[in-house]
Chains A and B, each alone.
Chain A
Amino acid sequence: MRATDFIDLEAGTLSREIFSSEEIYRREVERVFAPAWSFVGHTSQLAKNGDFFLSRCGIEPVIVSRDQAGAINVLLNSCRHRGMPACRYDSGNATDFICSYHGWSYGLDGALVGVPKFRERYQGKLEREKWGLIRARVNVFHGSIWATFDDAALSFEDYLGPDMQFYLQALLQGPDGDDDGYEVIGGLVKWQVACNWKFGAENFAGDHYHGYSHISVERLSVGLSGKTSRHNFAAAKTPRQAMSVADPKRGHTIRASVFKDLAGYDVQAGAPDEVNDYYLKCHEERQKRLGDKARLLIHGGVIFPNTHFNSAGRTTIGLWLPLSAGKTEIWRWLFVPRNAPNIVKDTLREYYLRYAGPAGMVEQDDMENWTAAQHGTESLVARKYPFNYQLAMGLARPARADEWLGRDVSITEDVAEHNQRAFYAHWAERIADTP
């Protein structure tokens, strides 16, 4: 397979087959997902030693735990004896994980600690230290937990690259610009959609263009003001420049705005008074801490391949988890500012619930459209005709030296399919045997 079988960057076209071919899906599992660093959760989900929750690393099921020494472990949730999940509880607090089949038990760090009939029938010879749960490499970045099972993968810092580290740090900063500013609220949102995972990924990567999908919520307004748009920043009075920012070398993408000046705070414009007061105070702190960089407003993005996030007044991080070429499970973590008063946390929580996920008035229309687009990748005739990614082609520029938007990134201002092109170009490089 060659990268040019799928993508033609000069023409701005992409094969439809990559959304429906099971063969390509199998290659993705090995070549795109396995070597990646994946978001698996947040340290606020592991407040106490012994706390654990189930997650996914790439598409692999994992246990994320804090052991008795306080260290964070990411363990393949598969008993070494017969492959049963060692843990079948979504979350909790435990001293060990006991497989329900033959009773092998594992410590919070994955060490095999108990084997029935160890002395009598294994004659004490089973090498327990070799039969612990498979451990992933783990990295904690400003409270977010990342993992990979690929020993040959780059370091987490190199996988992200310097620019994406800057954006991820900015995403995880509280509204006051403080690092580690967020905590996860209880309960992960999980649901299934009958479409290829990349429809979600490309939408989050850089689709500033799909306003038509959401005209119903623009009409009704589901933002905090209840008066304007689905986005709170739509009520902002300070002019801003929307942009797509891509790291083409690594496939990471960001949708962001940069406000023209720091004069007024209005990112959460229209919020109820108590919420607005909190954000006003935060805004002053944020300016002190970040200076000119406080002008940045992250809308969302994708850390290649499947970790996605939304920001701009509602911070969520999620995973696209392909089950097959045509089916995807989606997981979402909802974040609130750690030090905010409860009224702020609750207002934001209600905003997510009416915005995002299968009950979200905004995202319902995304899921509907992605499912319908999937049909367009399955017809034999349609597959001969590629998809069009020509929007704002040829308008990209590198980040300027006087900007702090990044060193390796390329930028297209306003509505563009800049980020989708970068995402798929990197994807095709990973999938292909030759360029």
Chain B
Amino acid sequence: MTASDDRESALDTILLEAEIERFFSAEAEMLDERRFDAWLDLLHEDLRYWMPIARNVRFDKPETEYTREHSEANWFDEGKDILRKRVLQIQGGDHWAEEPRSRTTHLVANVRVEAIDGADITVKSRFVVCGYRLEHDVDLFIGKRIDVLRRVDGKLKILRRAIYLDQSVLLSRNLTTFF
């Protein structure tokens, strides 16, 4: 491989990461502007949306630190059908945990392409989600995300989202926002 091939491949990665960063920024804006239907359109029909619960475990048992999907308790472990219901719940004006609605700001950073497998791109990132609610309520959620994005007809869709929250005991009463 020549030096110019290397440069070409590095540029490809930078361009792809820039595209994904823009995609995540647009997604965050949809959530913060409460354009939830547009957000649902970003989700692949086969999406798995998973947020495990963190446990405090011994250094030599790191594989047990997060609860497993499909078998253990999790904050979220569901598909698009349930997320659609969550959106409909917020949109109805009768979901008191989000009525009146919270003001959220989603920040996504450290976006890095981890692997490319055909149409699927595995991306690692970090998130900060701030939620302010009513007069005095503050929620702060910080953690890591691993997404698998699939290119469908030229557009990126979220096929899998693993959300690793750094808290173990949830220090907020509710998780009514999306990550």
Contact = CB atoms under 8 A, between A and B. Distances in A.
Interface string A341-383: 0000110011011100111010011011101000000000000
B57 A364 contact: no
A92 B57 CA distance: 7
Interface stretch (A134-142, A182-190, A237-245): A182-190
Most chain B CB within a 10 A radius of its CB, from A191, A345, A367, A369: A191
Contacts of B176: 364
A359 B73 CA distance: 11
Interface in A185-226: 185-194, 213, 215-217, 219-220, 222
Q: Is the interface of B mostly helix, strand, loop or mixed?
A: loop
Interface residues of B, number: 40
Contacts of A367: 97, 173-174
B14 to A, nearest CB: 36
Interface string B54-75: 0111100100100110111111
Interface string B73-95: 11111100010011011001011
A163 interface: no
A334 interface: yes
Interface stretch (B29-37, B103-111, B163-171): B163-171
Interface stretch (A61-69, A83-91, A285-293): A83-91
Contacts of B172: 191-192, 358
B175 interface: yes
Contacts, number: 122
Q: Is the interface of A mostly helix, strand, loop or mixed?
A: mixed
Nearest to A363: B174
Contact of B173 (A186, A193, A217, A345): A193
B71 A346 contact: yes
Contacts of B175: 358-359, 364
B169 A89 contact: no
A361 B88 CA distance: 11
B141 to A, nearest CB: 11
B174 A190 contact: no
Most chain B CB within a 10 A radius of its CB, from A88, A185, A357, A359: A359
A192 B169 contact: yes
A190 B169 CA distance: 5
15 contacts: A90-B55, A90-B56, A91-B55, A91-B57, A92-B64, A190-B168, A193-B173, A353-B76, A358-B175, A359-B75, A364-B174, A365-B97, A367-B173, A368-B96, A368-B174
Interface of A: 88-92, 185-194, 213, 215-217, 219-220, 222, 329, 332, 334, 345-346, 349-350, 352-354, 357-359, 361, 364-365, 367-369, 371
Given A222-B85, A367-B174, 16 more contacts: A90-B55, A90-B57, A186-B68, A186-B72, A187-B67, A187-B72, A188-B73, A190-B170, A191-B173, A216-B89, A216-B92, A216-B96, A329-B169, A358-B173, A359-B75, A364-B176
- Pick the 9 closest A-B CB pairs, nearest first: A187-B73, A187-B67, A186-B72, A191-B170, A364-B97, A368-B97, A367-B173, A216-B95, A359-B175
